[in-house]
Structure 1
Amino acid sequence: MAKYETKFKYALVKRCLVNGSSAVAVGKEFGVDDGTVRRWVQSYRHHGFKGLSKKYEHYSSEFKLSVLRRMKKDRLSYREVEAMFNLRGHGTVSRWERLYHEGGLDTLKAKPKGRPKMMKPSPPATPPKAKADDTRTREQLLDEIDYLRAEVDYLKKRKGLGSGTESDCAKKARLVRDLRQHHKLSTLLKIAGLARSTFYYQVNVLEAPDRYAALKSRIRKIYNRHKGRYGYRRVTDALRRAGEMVNHKVVQRLMQALRLKSLVRPKKYRSYRGPGHVSVANLLQRQFQAKAFGEKWVTDVTEFNVGGEKLYLSPIMDLYNGEIVTYQMSRTAHFSLVDDMLKKAIGKLPDKRRPILHSDQGWQYQMHVYRRTLAEHGITQSMSRRGNCLDNAAMESFFGTLKSECFYLKRFTSIDQLQKELREYIRYYNHYRIKSKLKGLSPVQYRTQPSRP
């Protein structure tokens, strides 16, 4: 297990607590497991700088038992109880719990370290047998030296090759081809464990012109145009819309060879403030499909953190095509954030449309003013059940996509910079970001396409 200096731990904790960086982002930047970073943060919160310094201590069985009882009483996780009692070893409490269940209090007692006092005398070592005289000829010794040199060169080159999508035989053949100017081919093939016919076949494949060169170039252009947000499915849809009939598995394989990956996600604003006085049924019932624009809407609020400053985003999404109908941003989570968003959305409502508007049980959506505005415009309110984020999965999915494709890809220095980027991304999301479930169209393209007879 790696040892870390106290100053290093403190620097990472400071990144999380002062700069507002996530444990995942900090861990990835410094090559430390995000679980370890979270454990340091919790230790610092409970014990300050002292909680990050090295600690060597033996614990009595009574202390271990009290820790287990406290964990059970307060329903704490292993990580929480380790931080609370300033226990450094990862997995310490889980080990104590297992021992206690296996043998009770006696098994929690510390065992004496070191060898037992009485040691049996070891038998005298037998002298090594004398080696037989080396009868190898000079030529044999030279061949052996050549073999060892070739083996060292092969292993060095293989170590520096890194991981890729090539087959094992192709990698070996490439190594042998590169080294054959310095060593005998027969020796290299023996070291690589490669048949001569296999070697020549792989060399012919390696030296053949790449029939996918033009397609790879087009894939890379699409990937770069969308700033790494497209995976192989959307890249395939984009190619097909451009007239290139290609199988999605081919695109997936080529993107792997080019090491082009859709950039991924790590979520925390909680609007729930305990049970309110309002009881609203879950009318949506996780039916996230709509037959027409303006039939079903979903909404929620999410939080961003830039250098300790916060920004809140409140959008409304139409479930017909996943389009963001309208949105509002604010540096504070006041009711005006949701109220202003709702008024803007009502102004964009198609004639005679009276949608269902679904949300979680956040305090804003229980306000009398909010509910009265909905009633005045014939909008039906629907709410998720408490603690069921999947009841509003469509909105949660959008937030995940937004953060992974926009927020986590850049280092923002100010809230103003973030607001500008969010406006650009939401426009991009509505007008240009294609979806497979919309038949390779963007939300706006899907809504405005000519209706079929």
Structure 2
Amino acid sequence: MSKFTFEKKLEMVQRYLNNEGGYKSLGKIYGISHNLIKKWVLQYQYNGEEGLIKSYTNYTVQFKLDVLNYLNEQGTSLYETAAIFNISAPSTILDWKLKLETQGLDALKSKKKGRPSMKKETKKSTQPVEGSLEALQAENERLRMENAYFKKVECFSSNAGKITNKIKAQVIFELKDEYEVVDLVEVADIPRSTYYYWEKRLNQPDKYEKLKEAINEIYHEHKGRYGYRRITKELKKRGYQHDPKTINRLMNEIGLKCLVRMKKYRSYKGNVGKIAPNVLKRDFSTEKMNQKWVTDVTEFHLFGEKRYLSPVLDLCNGEIIAYIVMKRPVYKLVGDMLDQAIEHLQPGDQVTLHSDQGWHYQMKQYQKTLEQHQITQSMSRKGNCLDNAVMENFFGLLKSELLYLQEFDSIEHFERELADYIYYYNHKRIKAKLKDLSPVEYRTQVLKVA
């Protein structure tokens, strides 16, 4: 399909990514197979614009084996595998696979096309004699060029995460006044045509420059906890209207990736006191504050010390309304938390407080406090974490977005960051089910109006 230029392919891809049509509908519009559009979209998503440039490459045997191993181990389709490795035709991979299975490893070796060359070697006489001063100077100059090239590549690719043809072209462009382009493209292992393609585009203004700056700002404001979906929603608040797929692509270009995704503390010690029924029964929905609360205890182990967190979460908006952190999991950990939560009660509130069967929640002192404030006690069934799924989910977020994401200087530093995270979770972290508001924003903007 040589009649389709790079610009035409890019047009089709962008129309698909902007939800202006599916593969089949766009195929009918342009009069081509929808599989071609699917292939170009995948190549663009994995390799950017260079994925749409038809390149002629002699693949090594090792490269072919790597591709086939990836296909077998990951279970990807031919189209997806071709896109990942920037191979223009998925059928090429199928051809390698059949050759390997029927003819063995030697069949993967590239064979020279056309008739054997009858030209005599004419450049031998111009080559410096091995071991001569000229040969040593030439080798030294080449090493200096390679060193300069790879230093700049490392600098350019530090944020992008991978070395693209665009980055290689940028490096060659900066070094071409000092070294020959023909030598630089050999070191970079790209065709000269590819370099000149990117050279034409290096000086063109980036239409997404301001959008990328906004993405970068939001990403670092939330310390890498937001993926492209949440960043898209934050951008919408700032007046940027873009498809999530576009934001995902731009994040990949600038090397931004959501960094998210725990020893579970078990406080069950058999029958200590009276066990309450499962009143909640996994019904986590409620439209009013102070109707359904959930609680649990989790453990952190850092710097040879342990810290125990005991929070209370209101199921109406997912807000942490009370929490206590202590060095030991004594009853006071839960007792003080409960006292703190009770301060949120208003006259007439009828609350159900759900927990697991931990010994803290079976203590007579705990149950007596609940009775004094007309709070109904509810407990998960033994060994069934799904009965308290919302609190388990919060602990998972807390540990993946804080504990596994940041580095701490000391246990005291961790405690400060923990307090900051809970504030961030309540006041800034948006949720889709809360109309893209944070728990506190939802409580103050939506529930108050209702």
Match of 1:291 in 2: 287
Deviations 1:335-377, CA, capped at 9 Å, x for gaps: 1221222232223124433232221111111122222333443
Greater mean deviation of Cα atoms: 141-150 or 199-208: 141-150
Q: Which residue of 414, 439, 447 maps to 2:443?
A: 447
1:215-230 maps to which residues of 2 (within 5 A)?
A: 215-230=211-226
CA drift at 1:238: 2.1
Match of 2:7 in 1: none
Q: Cα 1:179–1:344, aligned 2, differ >3 Å: closer, same or farther?
A: closer
Could you say what the CA RMSD is over the residues aligned between the two structures, in angstroms?
3.6
Match of 2:408 in 1: 411
Instruction: Indicate if the aligned counterparts of 2:173 and 2:199 stay in contact, CA closer than 8 A.
Output: yes
Match of 1:259 in 2: 255
Match of 1:210 in 2: 206
CA drift at 1:167: 7.3
Are 2:378 and 1:392 equivalent residues in the alignment?
no
Match of 1:338 in 2: 334
- Measured in 2, the distance between the counterparts of 1:261 and 1:227 equals 11
Are 2:269 and 1:273 equivalent residues in the alignment?
yes
**SS of residue paired to 2:127:** helix
Match of 1:70 in 2: none
Q: Cα 1:181–1:222, aligned 2, differ >3 Å: closer, same or farther?
A: same
**SS of residue paired to 2:378:** strand
Instruction: Indicate if the aligned counterparts of 1:306 and 1:412 stay in contact, CA closer than 8 A.
Output: no
- Measured in 2, the distance between the counterparts of 1:334 and 1:367 equals 12
Q: Cα 1:260–1:168, aligned 2, differ >3 Å: closer, same or farther?
A: closer
Match of 2:421 in 1: 425
Instruction: Indicate if the aligned counterparts of 1:434 and 1:440 stay in contact, CA closer than 8 A.
Output: yes
Match of 1:77 in 2: none
Q: Cα 1:168–1:187, aligned 2, differ >3 Å: closer, same or farther?
A: same
Give the structure-2-normalised TM-score: 0.60
- Measured in 2, the distance between the counterparts of 1:420 and 1:184 equals 56
Instruction: Indicate if the aligned counterparts of 2:149 and 2:175 stay in contact, CA closer than 8 A.
Output: no
- Measured in 1, the distance between the counterparts of 2:146 and 2:334 equals 63
Q: Cα 1:402–1:166, aligned 2, differ >3 Å: closer, same or farther?
A: closer
**SS of residue paired to 2:280:** coil
- Measured in 2, the distance between the counterparts of 1:197 and 1:364 equals 71
Amino acid at match of 1:212: Y
Q: Which residue of 285, 296, 312 maps to 2:308?
A: 312
CA drift at 1:288: 3.1
Match of 2:127 in 1: 141
- Measured in 1, the distance between the counterparts of 2:178 and 2:416 equals 58
CA drift at 1:443: 0.3
Q: Which residue of 192, 211, 228 maps to 1:232?
A: 228
Are 2:234 and 1:242 equivalent residues in the alignment?
no
CA drift at 1:141: 3.1
Instruction: Indicate if the aligned counterparts of 2:224 and 2:260 stay in contact, CA closer than 8 A.
Output: no
Identity %: 45
Q: Which residue of 366, 382, 389 maps to 1:370?
A: 366
- Measured in 1, the distance between the counterparts of 2:166 and 2:337 equals 58
1:64-143 maps to which residues of 2 (within 5 A)?
A: 138-139=124-125, 141=127
Greater mean deviation of Cα atoms: 256-265 or 160-169: 160-169
Amino acid at match of 1:246: H
